[in-house]
């Protein structure tokens, strides 16, 4: 495993898949590298590609608001994506793109040693929790892998498209806050 600096350098120079050809920026991750809480999205969008930081567009504003609801902010958690370069037209990352990039996320997770992982949306949940994950049926349910509690919530972009999802997401956030408190995690 690489340390943070080596990992960032390797990721910034990556050419393992076709996504590198049109990227403006590699979107490595952001937040506290000491956080016990890791949020994982699917991949960067247009604003993220421009700024080199995950969740900075409209979905990012909503994610920030969601974190505030449970007494957190993005500087105290860590936020990363399955793929580090923007898929064209914000399409879902292809399996080969996910496979090319997953090692970076695994290394980030190894270095972070999070106690809780929150998958933002079905793509991340399908990679991290289980391939047949059904976001409409399994959001807000905690799974456990290697002593780490993992849950998925609706992706903030999905909530922007369907605001009714915010009600379910609020319930999921309360469950997340309860798990944080039950584990006695400090930020």
Query: Could you give the maximum distance between any two Cα atoms of the chain, in Å?
Result: 45
Beta bridge partners of 79: 30, 39
CA count, 13 A, side-chain hemisphere, 108: 29
CA count, 13 A, side-chain hemisphere, 68: 6
| Cβ atoms within 10 Å, residue 8 | 16
Lookup result for tokens 């991290």: 128
Q: What CATH superfamily is the domain 4-182?
A: Uracil-DNA glycosylase-like domain (3.40.470.10)
Euclidean distance between CA atoms 13 and 80, whole angstroms = 17
Taking CA atoms, 186 is separated from 17, 26, 34, 76, in Å, by 38, 30, 10, 10
pTM of the model: 0.97
Lookup result for tokens 């991750």: 29
Name residues whose C-beta falls within 8 Å of residue 68's C-beta, 6 or more positions apart in sequence.
none
**pLDDT at position 187:** 86
**pLDDT at position 90:** 87
Q: Which residues of the chain have pLDDT under 70?
A: none
**pLDDT at position 181:** 98
Lookup result for tokens 């898929």: 87
**pLDDT at position 106:** 98
For 81, counting Cβ atoms within 10 Å of its Cβ (0-12 exposed, 13-18 middle, 19+ buried), the class is: buried
**pLDDT at position 132:** 97
């Amino acid at each position: 495993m690489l340390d943070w600096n080596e990992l960032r350098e390797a990721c910034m120079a990556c050419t393992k898949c076709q996504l590198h050809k049109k990227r403006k920026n590699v979107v490595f991750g952001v937040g506290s590298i000491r956080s016990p809480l890791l949020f994982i999205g699917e991949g960067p969008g247009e604003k993220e590609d421009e700024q080199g930081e995950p969740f900075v567009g409209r979905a990012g504003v909503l994610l920030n608001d969601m974190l505030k609801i449970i007494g957190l902010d993005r500087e105290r958690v860590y936020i990363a994506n399955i793929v580090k370069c923007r898929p064209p037209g914000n399409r879902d990352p292809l399996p080969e793109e996910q496979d090319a990039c997953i090692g970076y996320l695994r290394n980030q997770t190894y270095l972070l040693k999070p106690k809780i992982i929150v998958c933002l949306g079905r793509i991340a949940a399908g990679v991290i929790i289980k391939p047949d994950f059904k976001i409409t049926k399994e959001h807000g349910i905690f799974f456990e892998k290697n002593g780490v509690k993992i849950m998925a919530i609706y992706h903030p972009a999905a909530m922007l498209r369907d605001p009714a999802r915010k009600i379910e997401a609020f319930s999921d956030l309360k469950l997340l806050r309860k798990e944080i408190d039950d584990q006695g995690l400090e930020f």
